[in-house]
Structure 1
Amino acid sequence: MLNGEKKISRPLRWAMVGGGRLSQVGYKHRTGALRDNTAFQLVAGAFDIDYERGKEFGVNIGVDEERCYPDYKTMFLEEHKREDGIEAVTIATPNGTHYEICKAALEADLHVICEKPLFFTTEEVLEIKELAEQKGKILGVTYGYSGNQMMMQMRAMIEKGDIGDIRIVELQYTHGFSSTEEADKFSDAQKWRVDPKISGPSFVLGDLSTHTYYMSQLIMPDMKIKKLLCDRQSFISSRAPLEDNAFVMMHYENGAVGRFWTSAVNAGCMDGQRIRIVGSKASLEWWDSKPGELSYEIQGQPAQKLIRAMPYLDDSCNADERLAALHVEGLSEAWANIYLKFAIAIDAKNRGDHETLENLIYPDINAGLEGVRWIENCVRSADQGAIWVDFEDVPTAQEVN
């Protein structure tokens, strides 16, 4: 169980690029990073493209005015001059800016935590991965709900053989908040998400499905996709060529099959992230509307509901427990869990602790790479008429263009 005691020797000096007053995700990052005040300390930021608004915001959340910067380049330069300069930075900006900011941060000898999807192409990810390795830095990706401890319970049960051989994987991440064209006109956060120059080659595949896809990898680390077929739609025609709905069929190397529905036009849907893993003996199902529950259904027996924080759960699950079974946990605690693991990873990297890094499970740059690979393959399949494509046969940037 986690109770806020330090896991590293001191809090890491941390900054943000983006995540200001108008950001949809900035507060999630801060509540995650600062939940355990023994992990990170927010000391600087380039919070907004509007410098005055960003500076006012930074001061209002407790950052010294002199360390609220007009842009990330100035921040990296000025913080590098300080003895107490930042050690890590979170990038909470639109997709199209991730690559250049990540590269600049690594070149400034900073550890990086970045929003998803990381970049537009796997080529870009591989380049940044090599740079991170050269610099000896961690690059983590904020797949928020992957920090929910029931993911580790599912992973442990599958590893133990509790559900038998995996046969079917059913994934869903949908909502209805983009069901009308008006959503694209009045929300700044929505406007860039449907602009290919900023969002990249996809809308919901990158914005939603990469979350659940990584969670499925976390739960089933030995399950590899052999080929997939993606059929995507733009029900709001002005969003084309970006999709607001997509269906993905998957064949896994072990013979299992999978299906993924991702959508921003599932009208009326509020909580649409579900994961169901069907084995030869039993099934497991998790739903983000009830994040502390796990359905365990053994063929021929009454259905069971496993509840977080209980002693019958696996140690790997309860290790990330925070509030005890009487009290509800959710997205904020999941973010706190992954940020704590980012801090542990950064500290281990700084100390050369390879054993900790090898055993720590968190969304690292390899998870980011697989997310971009997933998007590329889905887009490639859809754009060729919803055909089956080999998953590992990733196109080059030239082929995509």
Structure 2
Amino acid sequence: MSKIEMVDLRSQYHKYKGEIDAAVMQAMDDCQYIGGPEVGQFASNLADYLSVEHVIPCANGTDALQLALMALDLNPGDEVITSPFTFVATAEVIALLGLKPVFVDVEIGTYNIDVSKIADAITEKTKVILPVHLFGQAASMEAIMNLADEHGLYVVEDIAQSLGAEVYFKGDNRQAGTVGHIGCTSFFPSKNLGCFGDGGACFTNNAGLAAKMKMISSHGSRKRYFYDITGINSRLDTLQAAILKVKLPYLKDFIRTRQNVAGIYDALLMHLKDISVPERAVDSSHTFNQYTIRVKNGQRDALKTYLQENGIPSRIYYPLSLHQQKAFEAFCPGILLPVAEQLCKEVLSLPIHTEMKKEEAELVGKSIIAFFEKTKHKP
């Protein structure tokens, strides 16, 4: 058996190498490396996939969040409610714009923001709820939108890990990222839809917000060399757009493979008393950008070491909650978020990717079973 990879980008590339190489060479021959036709074509194709009116490509997922928040005309000190159990980019952008991140604890099973705790965090300074759809499934969007409507708030969805997830919203199936006012995603190589570098996008059904985000991404300019507002320089380059345009039609296949691997893990691990497999939300599908288990009774680090010694990679997403990070301590001194803090001590993400074979997933699962059998019989 070949070496097990956390994410096997090489095998995915070789599977689609002919199409990708042809698309890249066409872009090279056209020599329109910035703003080439592939960028607009990919944006249009992604809009069709998401059933959304406007897609604004940009340089990366962090910039996508910045574009979204800048488009909302917020003022310094305005508050943005978000999750503490996620990658730093979400809170980082809030702080960089002079806004205040307000962290709300998460659910122990889905790892997403606990909607039942959001209302208590809303103040007169609250302007945005920014849920992060973590590891592949969406937060409870119907409840979030009800709160937003009640309090007159914007909702910006961070779906960097959950592109392609379906959300059951008011009787309809919607794509994650299209329920709130703006959705933001990343095309980092390991994402469900990844390019060969950095890339990102915003999407919305609001024409005014779309026009403003597009303007902000191009130095605040609607017309070249004429600047209406202060913006940034954030563009998806043509080569990355060409690659993404090839891969987008396969996104449903990518997700299906990840779901199949998750099913194998579930079957092997769900009966272990020291393991909790990922909980499935009732109102969202799961695309499994990560398959993240909880390892109880302080055994997480020992299991990680055991897997590594047996040639199996794993990752800890995330070792420290954002509200405990030095960079954000001024925003939330002394705050306790017990679920996020517990998860940081228990979570372990297992290998999962679009080219993973059944026997590889079974080996990972059986290795975890062997670890617990070994520790159970330890004198």
Q: What TM-score do the two structures reach when normalised by structure 1?
A: 0.25
| TM-score where L is the length of structure 2 | 0.26
Higher-strand-fraction structure: 1
